[in-house]
Amino acid sequence: MSRPYNFSAGPAMLPEPVLRQAQEEMLDWNGSGMCVAEMSHRGKEFMSIAEQAERDLRELLALPEGYRVLFLQGGASSQFAMVPMNLSGRTGKADYLNTGSWSKKAIAEAHRFCAVHVAASTQPERFVRAPTQAELALSEEAAYLHYTPNETIEGVEFPYIPETSAPLVADMSSTLLSRPIDVARYGMIYAGAQKNIGPAGLTIVVVREDLLGEPLSGTPTMFDYRVHADSGSMYNTPPTYAWYLAGLVFQWLKDLGGLEGMGEINRRKAEKLYAAIDGSSFYANPVEPASRSWMNVPFTLANPELDADFLAGAKDAGLLTLKGHRSVGGMRASIYNAMPEAGVDALIAFMAEFERTKG
C-alpha cells in the first residue's frame, strides 16, 4: 500500500528508502547487535557512522578546503543567537536582510548581542519578493551579512547570492541540499535538519575556519562554535540517531545523482505546481515570479470559505498537511527533496478536480 503524500513544512517527509533501511537496521545495525540509538557516541560503530555522514555531506556540497562541519542541536533558532555570539565580536555590528518571518526572528535575537543594521526590508510589501542587490544598503563595518535564502512561511526565495565584502551568513533551513550551492561564497551556512536533511533535533552548521575567532564574553560553552569544532561535535552527547538518519539521506541523495540531479527534480516539481496555480483563476500565489520558492508554495483559494472543504478533500485523497502557516492562512505545499514528483502531480490533479466541482 502506498503512503500518503505529506506536504508539511517540517518535520517533513523522509525518503521512503531511508525509512525502510532504518527499519531493517533498527534492532541490529551492521551486525553490532545494537540499534544506532543505543550506541555510545564515542564507540567505533557510531564514530564510523558519524564520519561517513560528514564525508558524504562534504562530497554533496563539494565543500572547499577550510570549512568545518558541525552536527549540533537546538535547531536553527539557537543559531539566531549563536551567530551573533560567535561572529559579531570583530566590530560589534552586523547587517541583516528582513525578508520574512524567519529573518525577523533572527534579527530580533541578534539585537540582544550586537548593533543590527537592517540593510533591506520587504516588510512594507508584505514580503512578496526578495530585494534586489541594488537595494541592499550594506554598512561598512558589518562583521557579517545575515540573510534567509528561502523564507519557509512566505514562500519567498532569493534568486541570487548577495554580494558583500563582509562574510555572508545564511539560514538555509529550508533550502540546503535542494540543489547545488556555491559554498565558497559563504562564511557560514546553517540549517535545522527537519526539511531536507533528516529528523528534527539535528542542526547542521558549515563555517569557514577563519571565522572561528573569539565569541563574545559570557558565551555559554555549548554556544561556542570553537568548542564544537575542536571536539568533532562531540563536546556533549550529539543527536546520534538524527545524525545517522541524515547520513542515510546523504547516501540516498548521492544515489540520485547528488544535488544536480535533485535540483532538476525540484525545479520541475515547483514549475508545474506554479503553472497550475497561475493557470487557474481559482488559486493564487502572491509572490513575484522571480522570487518564488522551489520548496514552499503558499496559495489561496478564491473563496476562503472553501478552505476547510479543500483540506478535508485533500486528506481523503492522501494529501496531508496542506494548511498554510497560521500567520498567513490559506494553503502551503512544502515540496522538499523527499516529496516525489508523483506527489506534486497528485496535488495538481486534486486541485483541478476541486476547482471543477466547487469553484
Number of residues that bind ligand PMP (CB under 6 A): 11
Residue 230 known to be catalytic: no
Closest CA to 201 of 345, 78, 23, 89: 78
- How far apart CA 10 and CA 196 sit, in angstroms, is 9
Among 54, 56, 171, 355, binds ligand PMP (CB under 6 A): 171
- How far apart CA 21 and CA 108 sit, in angstroms, is 41
Range in contact with ligand PMP (rule: CB under 6 A) among 14-22, 51-59, 166-174, 338-346? 166-174
Nearer to ligand PMP, 21 or 77 (CB): 77
Binding positions for pyridoxal 5'-phosphate: 76-77, 102, 152, 171, 194, 236-237
Please report how close the Cβ of residue 317 comes to ligand PMP at its closest, in angstroms. Answer: 25
75 lines the binding site for ligand PMP (CB under 6 A): yes
Range in contact with ligand PMP (rule: CB under 6 A) among 50-58, 71-79, 206-214, 342-350? 71-79
Write a three-state SS string for the chain: CCCCEECCCCCCCCCHHHHHHHHHCCCCCCCCCCCHHHCCCCCHHHHHHHHHHHHHHHHHHCCCCCEEEEEECCHHHHHHHHHHHHHCCCCCEEEEEECCHHHHHHHHHHCCCCEEEEEEECHHHCCCCCCCHHHCCCCCCCCCEEECCEECCCCEECCCCCCCCCCEEEECCCCCCCCCCCHHHCCEEEEECCCCCCCCCCEEEEEEHHHCCCCCCCCCHHHCHHHHHHCCCCCCCCCHHHHHHHHHHHHHHHHCCHHHHHHHHHHHHHHHHHHHHHCCCCEECCCCHHHECCCEEEEEECCHHHHHHHHHHHHHCCEECCECCCCCCCEEEECCCCCCHHHHHHHHHHHHHHHHHHC
321 lines the binding site for ligand PMP (CB under 6 A): no
330 lines the binding site for ligand PMP (CB under 6 A): no
Beta-carbon neighbour count of residue 224 at 10 Å? Answer: 19
Please report how close the Cβ of residue 77 comes to ligand PMP at its closest, in angstroms. Answer: 3
Among 99, 122, 173, 291, binds ligand PMP (CB under 6 A): 173
Residue 102 known to be catalytic: yes
Among 76, 130, 253, 351, binds ligand PMP (CB under 6 A): 76
Binding mask 280-319 for ligand PMP (x = CB under 6 A): ----------------------------------------
Among 86, 152, 164, 196, binds ligand PMP (CB under 6 A): 152
Residue 28 known to be catalytic: no
Binding mask 188-207 for ligand PMP (x = CB under 6 A): ----x---------------
174 lines the binding site for ligand PMP (CB under 6 A): yes
15 lines the binding site for ligand PMP (CB under 6 A): no
10 lines the binding site for ligand PMP (CB under 6 A): yes
Nearer to ligand PMP, 61 or 170 (CB): 170
Nearer to ligand PMP, 174 or 240 (CB): 174
Cell of 338: 523527499
| Site residues for ligand PMP per CB under 6 A | 10, 75-77, 102, 148, 152, 171, 173-174, 192
Residues with active-site annotation: 102, 171, 195
